[in-house]
Structure 1
Amino acid sequence: MDESIKVVLVDDHQVVLDGFSARLEWEVGIDVIGTASNGLEAVDTVARLKPDVILMDISMPIMNGIEATKLIRESNPEAKILMLTMHDKREYIMEVMQAGALGYMLKEISAEKMVQAIKTVHQGATYFCESVAQTLFTQEVIPKVSKSNPLSRREEAVLKFVAQGHSSKKVASLLNISYRTVETHRQNIKHKLDIHSTAELAKYALEAGLIE
């Protein structure tokens, strides 16, 4: 049996931490191993406990969630951070994703969707709750793709699957190529497009008509 997903919750309101902990307490396969009440404390807690997924609030004292996300990702690029907030403005969403978070959901999300989000980012894919996805994808946030698409056919195929939320391991299986080859393609795609996050790749793929 697979080990439980180890989660750290970060929020400056104890009642919120208690509420989220209670939501996840009886979920099979998820184990809340620690909490933090501000971004600085989150950086220390994550370094000490090494969770699989971090649920991070944005607005907190001492250090906000965006700065904490940047610091955590600098020391651990593989850290999987899921932002859990009341803010659904595009500026917040874009700043969060550029900081390196894999997902963004509002605090009003159901327990079922929260569990789905945790499992999704744990696999290395991105997750946006419905209202956040609408905010991202119904407004122009990157330039329309020009006809001179710099990507090769294979890179387009990799980008399509990545944008659909598949992990590099899954993409390798779908395209019958090695994991290392997929990772190489991903780096080449980011370099060619000057894109630095999975969320931006997804938006590019949407604009390019690779996904609907």
Structure 2
Amino acid sequence: MSSTAPYPARIRVALVDDHALVRDGLRALLAAMPQLEVVGEAGSGAEALNLVSKIRPDLLLVDIGMKDMTGLQLTETLCRQYPGIQILILSMYDHPEYVTSSIRAGARGYVLKDAASREIVAAIDAIAAGGSYYSADLLRKMASPAAEDGELTPREREVLRMLAQGLSNKAIARALDISVRTVETHRLSIRRKLGVDTPAGLVKYALERGWLSP
């Protein structure tokens, strides 16, 4: 997924994983990407909190399983303390509940550790540009072909999908060639029909129906 929102020419990334070997591999991968700069790394939640307070990276790659706190707890804490920070969960766990929990915590994406290197880079680019990104394997697992989309019209479904990707009303209006007021009208209708309007709720709803694709 991607967005047209502007993002820094060079994305400052920090790595958070309690396995040094994993951090080494990620650092080597990202070093080959001219748009990315690895500015720090941490092996625990406490180290990550200290690191962010000092260098304020644009984006963190965070593992879920750590010794002192989970990556989800760390994500929730960081998003509360630094509202503008962007977090990509990089995990071996592919259970849908981890994905929805990461969304509630404030993460903007979730990629499996065995994903291709190009997918990890694509996720970073998408999140840095203001969107969201979820591993293709996870999307297939979470998709529910039998799920009903209620009374949503095709246009409302399209607007909901874009909202779930993190696009603003103005960006959606440009993409669909409609007015911002029309987008707002669709959004109000979606909220009325689904009872959902939070980013986490929209992403969860779209994920469960397989409407988001990388």
TM-score bucket of the superposed structures, by smaller chain? 0.7 to 0.9
The separation in 2 between residues aligned to 1:15 and 1:78, in whole angstroms, is 29
Name the count of aligned residue pairs: 204
Change (3 A) 1:106 1:74: same
Q: For residues 182 and 55 of structure 2, what CA distance do their matches in structure 1 show?
A: 32
Q: Which residue of 1 aligns with 2:4?
A: none
Aligned-pair identity (%): 35
Question: Any runs of at least 4 consecutive aligned residues in structure 1 with deviations exceeding 4 A, and if so which?
Answer: 152-157, 175-178, 180-192, 205-212
Instruction: Give 2:195's aligned amino acid.
Output: L
Structure with the larger RCO, 1 or 2 (CA within 8 Å, 6+ apart) = 2
1:174-189 matches, cutoff 5 A: 174=175, 175=177, 177=179
Per the alignment, residue 163 of structure 2 pairs with 162
CA distance, structure 2, for counterparts of residue 79 and residue 6 of structure 1: 11
Q: Which ranges of structure 1 fall in alignment gaps of 5 or more residues?
A: none
| CA deviations over 1:52-76 (Å, ceiling 9, x no partner) | 1110000001111000000011112
What CA distance in whole angstroms lies between the structure 1 residues aligned with 2:202 and 2:84?
17
The RMSD of aligned alpha carbons is 3.4
**Number of the residue aligned with 1:32:** 38
CA gap of 1:93–1:170, structure 2 versus 1, over 3 A, is same
**Counterpart in 2 of 1:130?**
136
Checking the alignment, whether the CA contact within 8 Å between 2:17 and 2:66 is kept in structure 1 is yes
- Quickly say closer, same or farther: Cα 1:188–1:25, change in 2 above 3 A: farther
Q: 1:206 to 1:101 in 2, by over 3 A?
A: closer
Deviations for 1:184-211, whole angstroms, at most 9, x for unmatched residues?
986996697245334x314434778987
Shift of the 139–95 alpha-carbon distance from structure 1 to 2, 3 Å rule, reads farther
Partner residue, 1:106: 112
Residue in structure 1 matched with residue 89 of structure 2 by the alignment:
83
Provide structure 2 residue ranges, at least 5 long, that are not aligned to the other structure.
1-7
1:94 maps to a residue whose letter is: T
Where does residue 123 of structure 2 map in the other structure?
Answer: 117
CA gap 1:9/1:209 in 2 versus in 1, 3 angstroms: closer
| 1:153–1:92 Cα change, 3 Å | closer
Q: Distance in 1 between matches of 2:118 and 2:211?
A: 29
Deviations 1:123-167, CA, capped at 9 Å, x for gaps: 121111111112222388xx84444x6xx998665323224x362
TM-score by length of 1: 0.79
Question: Aligned in 2, Cα 1:208/1:64: closer, same or farther, shift over 3 Å?
Answer: closer
Letter in 2 for 1:161: M
Is the CA contact (8 Å cut-off) linking 1:159 and 1:201 kept in structure 2? yes
Distance 2:212 2:21 in 1: 40
Q: Give the CA deviation at 1:104.
A: 0.6
Counterpart mapping for 1:147-158 below 5 A: 147=151, 158=159
Letter in 2 for 1:11: D
Structure 2 residue identity aligned to 1:204: Y
| 1:23 alignment counterpart | 29
Q: 1:67 aligns with which of 63, 70, 73?
A: 73
TM-score, length-scaled by structure 2: 0.78
Contact 1:59–1:65, Cα closer than 8 Å, also in 2: yes
Q: CA deviation at 1:18?
A: 0.7
Tell me the distance in 2 between the aligned counterparts of 1:190 and 1:38. Answer: 39
Q: Which residue of 2 aligns with 1:8?
A: 14
